[in-house]
């Protein structure tokens, strides 16, 4: 049996959160997501949590598991010791149990305009990139917007308007794209009171990212571009 302790909170019924304990029949290779699905199907059909792909691709099963932000579908119960403790992501309002409200996160995501900004008429052509230009997007396009890094960052809590590591990495992804022509706008979005200067380089985001990405490096790159623009007036 695996002992699973799960955070519970229903704002319509509970004045505060609490933990429920479950004994789940263990089988080799079981993930935390599978343990939660067992609880849902056999113990308590009211348990709230999100998942979709079960393959570490959609980012929806991000949770705080045994002291660390992780994807439940990519975390083996056998790697967690005698007891598994599951909580929702921090720094996002809890809707119910393990389900957090991502509305504010995705509103800020829209603010960075996460699409190519390029008014050049296309005609019948494609917007081509050289292999070198495409290689600049490696370790940027892989972000699955799971918000593990957002939850781990102390400054997404103190400034709810702070873009945070995930969205600054996304901003860097478009800043780095040779097909995007809004370089000055991208830098201005980073060089904002709720942008890169809120980051104090604590590296929590790098430590937790399940895709091994490096939001802190993106923030450093955008800080460099912002300083250059302030001193030289050039956006590059
Ligand atoms: S490095 Fe910056 S963005 Fe990442 S967790 Fe630390 S303060 Fe937040
Ligand atoms: S940078 Fe990593 S931790 Fe942050 S949202 Fe993207 S995949 Fe998740
Ligand atoms: S269910 Fe999609 S990342 Fe876990």
DSSP 58-72: S-TTEEEETTEEEEG
Q: What is the pLDDT of residues 82-136, one digit of tens each?
A: 899 999 999 999 999 999 999 999 999 999 999 999 988 887 788 899 999 999 9
Rounded Cα gap, residues 39 and 23, in angstroms: 9
- Between the CA of 61 and the centroid of ligand 2 the distance, in Å, is 12
> What's residue 124's pLDDT?
78
Name the token pair of 42.
């056999």
Q: Measured from the CB, is residue 112 less than 6 Å from ligand 2?
A: no
Q: Measured from the CB, is residue 209 less than 6 Å from ligand 2?
A: yes
196: left (phi over 0), alpha (psi -120 to 50) or beta: alpha
The residue to mutate among 54, 63, 86, 209, having the most atoms of ligand 3 within 8 angstroms of its beta carbon, is 54
- More confident: 136 or 234: 136
Strands 94-96 and 99-100: antiparallel
97 to 5, 12, 161: CA distances (angstroms): 12, 12, 24
229: left (phi over 0), alpha (psi -120 to 50) or beta: alpha
Please give the number of the atom of ligand 3 that sits closest to the Cα of 71.
4
Q: What is the pLDDT of residues 149-208, one digit of tens each?
A: 999 999 999 999 999 999 999 999 999 999 999 999 999 999 999 999 999 998 999 999
Q: What domains, with CATH codes, occur in the chain? A: 2-100 (3.10.20.30), 103-232 (1.10.1060.10)
- Between the CA of 74 and the centroid of ligand 1 the distance, in Å, is 23
Would you give the end-to-end CA distance of the chain in angstroms?
57
């Amino acid at each position: 049996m695996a002992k699973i302790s799960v955070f519970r909170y229903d704002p319509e019924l509970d004045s505060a959160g609490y933990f429920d304990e479950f004994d789940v029949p263990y089988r080799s290779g079981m993930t935390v997501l599978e343990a939660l699905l067992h609880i849902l199907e056999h113990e308590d059909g009211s348990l709230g949590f999100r998942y979709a792909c079960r393959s570490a691709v959609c980012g929806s099963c991000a949770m705080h598991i045994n002291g660390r932000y992780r994807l439940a579908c990519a975390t083996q119960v056998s790697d967690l010791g005698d007891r598994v403790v599951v909580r929702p992501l921090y720094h996002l309002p809890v809707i119910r149990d393990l389900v957090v409200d991502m509305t504010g996160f995705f509103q800020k995501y829209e603010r960075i305009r996460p699409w190519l900004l390029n008014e050049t008429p296309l005609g019948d052509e494609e917007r081509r990139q050289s292999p070198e230009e495409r290689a600049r997007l490696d370790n940027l396009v892989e972000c699955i917007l799971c918000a593990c890094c957002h939850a781990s960052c102390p400054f997404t809590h103190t400034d709810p308007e702070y873009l945070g590591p995930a969205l600054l990495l996304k901003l860097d992804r478009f800043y780095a794209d040779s097909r995007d022509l809004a370089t000055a706008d991208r830098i201005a979005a980073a060089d904002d009171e709720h942008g890169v200067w809120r980051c104090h380089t604590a590296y929590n985001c790098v430590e937790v990212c399940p895709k091994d990405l490096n939001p802190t490096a993106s923030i450093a790159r955008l800080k460099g571009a912002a300083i250059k623009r302030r001193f030289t007036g050039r956006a590059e």
